[in-house]
């Protein structure tokens, strides 16, 4: 048996996973993949929160960033990502995030974080307003 420490970044404390060396290579690789990729849950300073709220049209409610009404197409697309995640259509969510120039790691982390948020705070995250309902016209992107 060998122990491996998996870290997502330098500041992450990491997860120690014990993997049996006698397992087939495929199983070992699968066990290495199951650690969820996220942006993390560290506390942000008040300056960072204030800057984020001013820059990205969000407000902080109960330690959750809540998006305001969308002002441009990028904000509408991010709201669509939240809509598709709430309705378990991760394929469309990934396509939208890819069109916004997110990297594969960023997409994976964003979706995992949003799924966790929708489970923890369904009212604040918009899950209750999106789940099994048609997409609101306010978040549809206008044609060019």
Paired with 67 in beta bridges are 58
Task: Kindly state the average pLDDT of the residues 60-85.
Answer: 85
Position 83 in a domain: yes
Give the alpha-carbon dihedral of 80, 85, 90, 92, to 10 degrees: -10
Sign of CA dihedral 114, 115, 117, 122: positive
Do 77 and 28 lie in one domain? The reply is no
Q: Which residue has the higher pLDDT, 50 or 87?
A: 87
% of residues, the chain, pLDDT over 90: 24
Position 13 in a domain: yes
Position 91 in a domain: yes
Q: Which of these, 70, 74, 92, 95, lies nearest to 83 by C-alpha position? A: 92
Phi, psi of 25 (to 5 degrees): -55, -40
Position 107 in a domain: yes
Position 99 in a domain: yes
Position 62 in a domain: no
% of residues, the chain, pLDDT over 70: 72
Q: Which residue has the higher pLDDT, 136 or 33?
A: 136
C-beta of residue 116 within 8 angstroms of C-beta of residue 132? no
Cβ burial 21-47 (10 Å sphere, 16+ → b, else e): eeeeeeebeeeeeeeebbeeeeeeeee
pLDDT of residue 98: 94
Do 78 and 26 lie in one domain? The reply is no
Give the alpha-carbon dihedral of 40, 42, 48, 54, to 10 degrees: 50
Residue 12: which domain range? 2-33
Q: Which of these, 127, 40, 39, 139, lies nearest to 88 by C-alpha position? A: 127
Position 41 in a domain: no
Do 76 and 134 lie in one domain? The reply is yes
Position 29 in a domain: yes
Do 78 and 132 lie in one domain? The reply is yes
Distances in Å between the Cα of 31 and the Cα atoms of 25, 28, 84, 113, 129 are 10, 5, 28, 20, 36
Record the pTM.
0.68
Report which listed range, 12-21, 44-53, 79-88, is most confident: 79-88
Q: Which residue has the higher pLDDT, 19 or 69?
A: 69
Domain count, the chain: 2
Given phi > 0 = left and psi -120 to 50 = alpha, else beta, which region is 38? beta
């Amino acid at each position: 048996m060998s122990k491996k420490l998996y870290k997502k970044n330098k500041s992450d404390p990491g997860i120690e996973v014990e993997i049996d060396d006698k397992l087939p290579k495929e199983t070992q690789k699968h066990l290495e993949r199951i650690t969820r990729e996220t942006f993390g849950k560290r506390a942000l300073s008040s300056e960072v929160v204030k800057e984020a709220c001013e820059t990205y049209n969000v407000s902080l409610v109960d330690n959750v960033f809540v998006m305001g009404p969308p002002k441009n197409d990028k904000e509408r697309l991010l709201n669509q990502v939240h809509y598709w995640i709430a309705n378990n259509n991760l394929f469309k969510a990934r396509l939208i995030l890819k069109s916004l120039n997110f990297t594969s790691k960023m997409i994976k982390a964003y979706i995992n974080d949003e799924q966790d948020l929708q489970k923890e705070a369904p009212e604040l995250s918009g899950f209750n307003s999106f789940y099994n309902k048609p997409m609101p016209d306010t978040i549809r992107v206008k044609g060019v």
